């Protein structure tokens, strides 16, 4: 796999629960690329994302994500794949019983960090990147939806991921806040060279922030798809 290729799927059939969901998937995503993933509910968007982060095993075809061979993944090395990934959720999934700093500290400890000074330095860096410098002491319930989504993105950045998978990251946000999050995600692509795959139903965002589009439909993934606005 080329150095700048982050995701490569060749002739992949994606199954869930024994059912063929997507057939003959061909996909290449390179460093620093921003890609939308669209499609009606039930057409395989989530199955594709879950395959990329090792939640659904790849049974047929060839697949590489961040240098990991998806056909050879075992439950033991899935955590190592996920250290190279960032995952951003629609509903934030922050730990509500601890402040922002400790939400981020939890992830660092879970992924093998031990040096307290380096951990604090990393947390300050990612909070600065997402525009939340000095807000690490806040509890999630003290923050707006947009701020909580920024914390979720900061969490995804902690281990310098080569790839961020964002599942409807603007789904619970108002239009102005959605725009702020989109500017932030695009700046992460540009500044860090991180590839981002973003699943969304919001075509107004796709129109405003133009980029490559993947569409799931009829059991297939269409690359460089077009959207009728």
pLDDT score, position 215: 95
Rg of the Cα atoms in the chain = 17
List, for the chain, all residue ranges whose pLDDT scores fall below the cut of 50.
none
Q: Cα(164)–Cα(88) distance, rounded to whole angstroms?
A: 7
Q: E-assigned strands of 152-229?
A: 163-167, 195-199, 212-217, 220-222
Q: E-assigned strands of 34-187?
A: 34-38, 60-65, 68-69, 85-88, 163-167
Q: Cα(95)–Cα(45) distance, rounded to whole angstroms?
A: 26
- What DSSP string describes 88-133? E-TT----TTS-HHHHHHHHHHHTT---HHHHHHHHHHHHHHTT-T
11-26, pLDDT tens digit by residue?
Answer: 999 999 889 999 999 9
Give all domains of the chain, ordered by start, each with its CATH number.
Answer: 33-57+75-222 (3.40.50.300)
Q: Can you give the pTM of this predicted structure? A: 0.92
pLDDT score, position 91: 78
97-133, pLDDT tens digit by residue?
Answer: 999 999 999 999 988 899 999 999 999 999 999 999 9
């Amino acid at each position: 796999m080329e150095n700048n290729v982050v995701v490569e799927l060749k002739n992949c059939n994606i199954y869930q629960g024994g059912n063929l969901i997507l057939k003959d998937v061909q996909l290449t995503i390179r460093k620093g690329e921003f890609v939308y993933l669209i499609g009606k509910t039930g057409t395989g968007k989530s199955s594709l994302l879950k395959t990329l982060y090792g939640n659904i095993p790849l049974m047929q075809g060839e697949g590489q994500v961040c240098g990991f061979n998806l056909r050879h993944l075992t439950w033991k090395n899935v955590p190592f794949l996920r250290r190279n990934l960032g995952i951003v959720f629609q509903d934030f999934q922050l730990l509500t019983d601890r402040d922002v700093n400790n939400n981020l500290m939890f992830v660092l400890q879970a992924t093998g960090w031990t040096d307290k000074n380096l951990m604090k330095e990393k947390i300050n860096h990612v909070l600065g990147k997402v525009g939340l410098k000095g807000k690490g002491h806040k509890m999630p319930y003290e923050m707006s939806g947009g701020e909580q989504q920024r914390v979720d993105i900061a969490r995804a950045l902690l281990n310098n991921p080569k790839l961020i998978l964002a599942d409807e990251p603007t789904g619970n946000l108002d239009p102005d806040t959605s725009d702020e999050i989109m500017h932030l995600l695009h700046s992460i692509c540009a500044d860090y060279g991180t590839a981002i795959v973003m699943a969304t139903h919001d075509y107004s965002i796709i129109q405003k922030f133009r980029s490559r589009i993947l569409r799931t439909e009829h059991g297939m993934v269409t690359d460089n798809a077009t959207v009728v606005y």
